[in-house]
Amino acid sequence: MQISFTLNGRPTSVDVAPSMLVTELLREHLNLTGTHIGCDTSQCGACVVHLNGAPVKSCTLLAPALDGATLLTIEGLQGAPGSNRLHPMQEAFRENHGLQCGFCTPGMVMTAVALAQDKGVLTEAEVRHGLEGNICRCTGYQNIVVSVMAGAAAMHAANAGE
């Protein structure tokens, strides 16, 4: 079946099988490999994308469900519309060493952006609770938590300055 949706701001039409997962569609058919697959039990969160503005684990979503929807992947994040700059949350991860191998990072960033959009400036407890669905095998989480708090503060400051 053919589906049409908005992918990272662009109208997109593709043929998908009824049983195709969004992770497979993104990585194997649309060459968007920033969305990672870290488990087969829907636990790790490496595959988080935004569907109609809300974070979802794309390994739990069938591609036909995208018809008519708006999807944002890590490749679609940017500092400002039309700019080549990193999103403030990505900058915060870079500045605060919020990663080691980086495998979990796209999912962490997408979850964190949604959390900050939902709640604004975040406390450590809010960040730790909000990241419960994202697993990191490397960092011990401390720098990730610091990064997300800094990224949320930067997003809040940028919105206040608009």
Residues that bind ligand FES (CB under 6 A): 37-39, 42-47, 57, 59, 99-104, 136-139
Task: Tokens for 158, please give them.
Answer: 């940028």
Handedness of CA 107, 50, 72, 20 (dihedral sign): positive
Sheet holding 10-15, edge to edge: 10-15, 2-7, 70-72, 48-51, 54-57
Q: How far is the CB of 135 from ligand FES (least distance, A)?
A: 7
Q: How far is the CB of 110 from ligand FES (least distance, A)?
A: 11
Q: How far is the CB of 139 from ligand FES (least distance, A)?
A: 5
Burial (CB count within 10 angstroms: exposed 0-12, middle 13-18, buried 19+), residue 55? buried
Is residue 40 within a helix (H) or strand (E), and if so which, with residue range? none
The answer to whether residues 55 and 97 touch, using CB atoms and an 8 Å cutoff, is: no
Q: How far is the CB of 124 from ligand FES (least distance, A)?
A: 18
Q: How far is the CB of 137 from ligand FES (least distance, A)?
A: 4
The answer to whether residues 34 and 74 touch, using CB atoms and an 8 Å cutoff, is: yes
Q: Is 54 or 121 the residue whose CB approaches ligand FES more closely?
A: 54
Q: Is 4 or 57 the residue whose CB approaches ligand FES more closely?
A: 57
Q: Is 38 or 76 the residue whose CB approaches ligand FES more closely?
A: 38
Nearest to 68 by CA among 50, 51, 49: 51
Q: Is 43 or 142 the residue whose CB approaches ligand FES more closely?
A: 43
Q: Is 122 or 134 the residue whose CB approaches ligand FES more closely?
A: 134
